[in-house]
């Protein structure tokens, strides 16, 4: 691994499509494979922090302090119960960051600036974005090497995607020309449901090789895991959900070694 971590934003402005679940489990899967991994919780809901067992009262310094107060990232990140997996936790403080940063000239570069100071401490940084294309998500896209897009296999899934792709293009034209699409991953897929298959066909036809071969199935173990404050990989290591997330990690890490995925 190079000195610089590989930075992946997990984004989709729709809520409830599997961003946080994907962030937690891809992070856990990367750590399981021996990678030093940092998950940045960039959602005021703090679901990634909760899902990795960081109690609200244990969130002394948060992503808010990192971005708005300029607290060094080394002071904000904290270990999780899992080897090699660290998190910058978030809480509702982050909800006002957009407003508070309005007059800050570097407001879109704050996360990039913070991550630059990490040096060789991590192999991967994953960013769990909020369900909106706001300043926080822009910070993630500006800081990232690539964006991983969870797409829930349901009606209208692709419509929201064009807005996200437009934003990616804008960020490329301004602050981050090298930003790539890591890929689109179908989530909560139910193979007994025709709609899931229709959405998959549609996505593969429209987006081609940007869509990962791996599909994350709807799996009750995946939805149970957060209430035990662990990734599904730890909660039920052999569940269909765990197998799928491991396969996704394998696909992502393999593609890093081949020529870069073409951008959309
Ligand atoms: P987002 O971060 O995009 O809002 P979440 O990852 O929080 O989405 O997922 C929304 C809800 O769906 C959560 O309750 C989560 O546990 C559930 N969920 C996510 N992925 C799966 C899956 N593969 N199978 C079953 N439930 C899932
Ligand atoms: Mg979320």
> Tens of pLDDT along 152-164?
988 788 888 999 9
Q: Ligand 1: which of 223, 241, 242, 248 to mutate, most ligand atoms within 8 Å of CB?
A: 223
In angstroms, rounded to a whole number, what is the distance separating the alpha carbons of residues 26 and 22? Answer: 6
CATH superfamily of 6-256: P-loop containing nucleotide triphosphate hydrolases (3.40.50.300)
Q: What is the pLDDT of residue 146?
A: 98
Using a 6 Å CB cutoff, which residues line ligand 1? 15-21, 47, 131, 187-188, 216, 218-219, 222-223, 226, 241
Q: What is the pLDDT of residue 3?
A: 78
Quote the pTM value: 0.95
Ligand number, closest to the Cα atom of 41: 2
With contact defined as beta carbons under 8 Å apart, do 199 and 154 qualify? yes
In angstroms, rounded to a whole number, what is the distance separating the alpha carbons of residues 24 and 163? Answer: 25
State pLDDT tens for residues 78-105: 999 999 999 999 999 999 999 999 999 9
With contact defined as beta carbons under 8 Å apart, do 141 and 109 qualify? no
Q: What is the pLDDT of residue 160?
A: 84
Q: What residue spans define the domains of the chain? A: 6-256
Listed as ranges, residues in the chain with pLDDT below 50 are: 1, 257-260, 262-264
In angstroms, rounded to a whole number, what is the distance separating the alpha carbons of residues 222 and 236? Answer: 9
Q: What is the pLDDT of residue 188?
A: 96
In angstroms, rounded to a whole number, what is the distance separating the alpha carbons of residues 84 and 68? Answer: 27
Q: What is the pLDDT of residue 260?
A: 46
């Amino acid at each position: 691994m190079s000195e610089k971590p590989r930075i992946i934003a997990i984004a989709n402005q729709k809520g409830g499509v599997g961003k946080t679940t994907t962030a937690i489990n891809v992070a856990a899967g990367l750590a399981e494979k021996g990678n030093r991994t940092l998950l940045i919780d960039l959602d005021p809901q703090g679901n990634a922090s909760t899902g990795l067992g960081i109690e609200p009262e244990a969130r002394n310094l948060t992503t808010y302090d990192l971005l708005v107060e300029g607290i060094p990232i080394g002071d904000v990140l904290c270990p999780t119960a899992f080897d090699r997996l660290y998190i910058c936790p978030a809480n509702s403080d982050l909800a006002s960051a957009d407003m508070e940063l309005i007059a800050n000239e570097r407001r879109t570069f704050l996360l990039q600036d913070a991550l630059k100071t990490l040096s060789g401490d991590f192999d991967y940084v994953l960013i769990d974005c909020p369900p909106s294309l706001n300043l926080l998500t822009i910070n993630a896209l500006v800081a990232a090497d690539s964006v991983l897009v969870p797409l829930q296999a349901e009606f209208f899934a692709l419509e929201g995607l064009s807005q996200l792709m437009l934003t990616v293009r804008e960020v490329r034209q301004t602050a981050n020309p090298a930003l790539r699409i890591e890929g689109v991953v179908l989530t909560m897929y139910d193979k007994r449901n025709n709609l899931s298959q229709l959405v998959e066909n549609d996505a593969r036809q429209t987006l081609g090789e940007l869509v990962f071969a791996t599909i994350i199935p709807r799996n009750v173990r995946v939805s149970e895991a957060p209430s035990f404050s662990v990734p599904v990989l730890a909660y039920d290591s052999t569940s269909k959900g765990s197998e799928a997330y491991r396969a996704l990690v394998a696909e992502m890490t393999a593609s890093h070694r081949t020529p870069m995925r073409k951008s959309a």
